[in-house]
Amino acid sequence: MPALACCVDAAAPPGYAFAGDISFPAPVAFTDVPLSTTDDNTSHWSPSLSAALYNVDGWGGPYFAVNAAGNISVRSHGSATLSHQEIDLLKIVKKASDPKSLGGLGLQLPLIVRFPDVLKNRLECLQSAFDYAIQSEGYGSHYQGVYPVKCNQDRFVVEDIVKFGSPFRFGLEAGSKPELLLAMSCLCKGNPDALLICNGFKDAEYISLALVANKLALNTVIVLEQEEEVDLIVDLSKKLCIKPVIGLRAKLRTKHSGHFGGTSGEKGKFGLTTAQILRVVKKLDLAGMLDCLQLLHFHIGSQIPSTALLADGVGEAAQIYCELVRLGANMRVIDIGGGLGIDYDGSKSCDSDISVGYSLEEYAAAVVHAVKCVCDRRSVKNPVICSESGRAIVSHQSILVFEAVGTSSTVGGASSVFSSPYLAGDLSEDYRFLSEAAFGGDYERCLVYTEELKERCVEQFKQGMVCMEQLAAVDGLCELVRKAVGAGESVRRYHVNLSVFTSIPDAWGIEQVFPIIPIHRLDEKPSVRGILSDLTCDSDGKIDKFINGESSLPLHEVDGGGYYLGMFLGGAYEEALGGFHNLFGGPSVVRVSQSDGPHSFAVTRAVPGPSCGDVLRVMQHQPELMFETLKHRAYEYVSQDNAAVLASGLARTFDRMPYLVPLSSFDEAALPASDEDEGVQWSY
C-alpha cells in the first residue's frame, strides 16, 4: 500500500502565530498497516451478488429482478412473465428523459413509472387466493373486494382497477365527498354488482350523495362510523324516498399492537362499541329499516403482521355478524377492512412494521377459515367476504426513479494533507503519539489520536490560533489514517434530485422504510456507503434508514453518466400525502405496458411534472401577474434588447419543473410541452 506521509511547513501564514518554535517528526510511513477489509477488486462481482446484497428477490419477487446487464428488470405479469417479456427499467428511464431531439420524451426527473400490468396481476392474484381458499374450505359464498381510493386517487390507477376488476365484481371504497364522487363516476363503467363502500365521517351532504348513488343503480353501502349518523340516514332516506343499504363498523377488542394498529382496539378512532351497535339496531328496528342493515365492517389496522392476529380479529367480527343476524338484521356481507400487508424488506417477519409473515394465499385461507368456523357453528349462512386491501394492490405498480447529482463526505479527503503545507504547531505532541502508535502497530490508538488531534485543532480554530488551511490539513490527515488502518471512509451524503417531503413523505413523517437501490450498474461492486439528501432547505429532507435496519446504503461512485436510484413498493399513499415543501411539485409520470416490441415495452402515457407556475398557483400566487411585474422591472433597468431576452428566459422558467436540470442534458428545444400527451402510444 502507499506510504502515509505528512509533509509540514512550519512557517505560519500571515496573521496567524504559533505558540512556540515547533519541529515535527519525520513523515510516518504505515508500511505494515492492512488495507480496508473490503475487497476493492470488482472483477468477480456479478448481478446475482447485487441481487443478494439488496435482497431484491426477497422484497421484489415476483415483479422485480436484476438482469444480466446489471439493471433492474420488471416482470409485469409476475411469476407468469416470460423471459422475453421482462422490461429493462433503465431503458424506460432513458427513453423518458432523453431529449426529444434524440428520440426521447423530454421528461425531467424525478419520474414515476407506472405498470398497469402489475396492477392487473395483483388484482388477479388476490382474487385467485380467495377463490382457492373458498373452494378448499367448501365455503358457502364468494369473495369480492373493494379498493380504498385513499391509497392512490390517480385517475388512471382507479380506472384501471375498475376495468381489471370488473370480472371479479371488484368495487371501490370512499372516505370523503370528493372520493365518493370519483368512485361513483368510475363505477358507472364497472360491474353493476361491484360494491361502493362509503366510509369516513359523514354529514347530510355526504349521506345524500351516497343515497343518490344508490338511486343511480350503484351497489352502495353507507357504513356507520359514528352512532349519530344513523339518525341522518333514517331522516334523509325518508325525505328522498330512497331505501338505503346500511353497514356498520364494529370496534373490536382485538388490537394490532404495531405502528399501524392505532385504529384498532377499544380506543380506536372509528367504529361502534357493543352498546352502540345495540342502540343502532333498535333505532333501525323502530324506523322499520332493520332490513337495510346488511354489512358488518371492521379494521384491525394496516400491515397486519401475522395470520394468527388476523384470524383472531376475523373470528371476533364473525361472532358480531352472527349476533346481528340473530337480532333480525338482513346481513349479507362481512367487510374485513384493510390490513393485508406487503413485505418491504423481504424478511418475511411477523415482528416488524415493514414486513409480514404470510403470503396472499395464507392470508385468504386464514380469513375464510375463521368466518366459516364461526358461521357454521352458529348455523348462519356464510356471508360474502369483502376486503379493502389497498396497500397490497397498488404498492408494486409504480417505481419512483431519481438521480444522484453529487456526493459529499464529512471531510475534504486525504488529498488535502498533501495539497496543504499547514499543520498547527501546538498539535505536535498529538502527532508524535500518532507516529508511535503507527510504528507499534496499535491501529486502535491511531484512530483515537486522530480524533484527539482533530478536536484540538477545531478548538484552536475557534480561538483564531489555527487557519482554515491547517484545519483542512488535519481533516485530511485523519481521513488518510482511517483509510490506512482499515476504518474506511465515513458514510457519504448523496445529493439526490428529489424532494422527500413531496415524493416519499412517509419516510419523513412516520419513518417508513422503502426498498431503495440503484437501478443500474448492479454488475459492479458498490464501493461506498451513503445516505440520501434531497434538494429541500431542510435537514429532515434525507433518508438514512433503509431495509434490514441499515443506516446507510451500499452505493457506487457517481460518474458523469448519471446515477439512477429507484424507490420501490411506494405506489400506496405517497402521492396523495406529498406536499409542496420549498415548492417542489410532483414527479413526471409515464405509464408503461408490456409489449411485443424489441424492448418489450410501450409507453401509453407521458405527463410532465408540475411546473414552477403550477406549484405557485397552489399557494394562491398568480404566475401571470408575477411575470408581468418582473417583465416591467426588466424593461425599467435593462436595455431594450436585453430586456426582451431576459423576459423570455423568465417566462420559460415559470413553465419548467422546479427540479435540477443537469447541464450536460440541458436542451431548450427538447423541453416537454406543458400540455399532456393524450392518447399517444410510443412503442420501443
Per-residue model confidence as pLDDT tens digits over 587-638: 999 999 999 888 899 999 999 999 999 999 999 999 999 999 999 999 988 8
* pTM: predicted TM-score of the whole model, two decimal places: 0.86
What would the pLDDT profile of 226-237 be if each residue is shown by its tens digit?
999 999 999 999
For the chain, give the mean pLDDT: 86
Lowest-pLDDT range, 68-82, 400-414, 446-460, 490-504? 400-414
Q: Report the C-alpha gap between 410 and 387 in whole angstroms.
A: 49
Cα 26 → chain centroid: 54
Lowest-pLDDT range, 28-32, 89-93, 250-254, 599-603? 28-32
End-to-end C-alpha distance for the chain, whole angstroms: 49
Residue 110 in grid coordinates: 424525478
Question: Which residue from 281, 265, 373 is spatially nearest to 329, judged by alpha carbons?
Answer: 281
Indicate the pLDDT class of residue 664, thresholds 50, 70 and 90.
low
pLDDT at 501 over 80: yes
pLDDT of residue 207: 97
pLDDT of residue 246: 98
Question: Which residue from 281, 289, 365 is spatially nearest to 325, judged by alpha carbons?
Answer: 281
Question: Which residue from 594, 570, 468 is spatially nearest to 152, judged by alpha carbons?
Answer: 570
Q: Is pLDDT larger for residue 159 or for residue 32?
A: 159
What residues have CB less than 8 Å from 108, skipping those under 6 apart? Answer: 97, 588, 608, 609, 656, 657, 659, 661, 672
Which residues of the chain are in CATH 3.20.20.10 domains?
Answer: 116-395
Question: Which residue from 398, 345, 338, 346 is spatially nearest to 363, judged by alpha carbons?
Answer: 338
Beta pairing class for 87-88 and 72-74: antiparallel
Q: Which of 7, 373, 537, 612 is catalytic?
A: 537
* Residue 541 and residue 578 in contact, taking contact as beta carbons nearer than 8 Å: no
Cα angle for residues 75, 80, 86 (degrees, 5° grid): 30
Residue type present at position 437: A
Question: Which residue from 4, 12, 19, 3 is spatially nearest to 422, judged by alpha carbons?
Answer: 12
Which residues of the chain are in CATH 2.40.37.10 domains?
Answer: 54-113+398-410+492-609
Give the CATH architecture of domain 54-113+398-410+492-609.
Beta Barrel (2.40)
Dihedral angle at the C-alpha atoms of 337, 338, 339, 341, nearest 10 degrees?
150
537 part of the active site? yes
Which CATH number, 3.20.20.10, 2.60.120.20, 3.40.50.800, 1.10.600.10, labels domain 116-395? 3.20.20.10
* Residue 679 and residue 602 in contact, taking contact as beta carbons nearer than 8 Å: no
Residue 620 in grid coordinates: 394562491
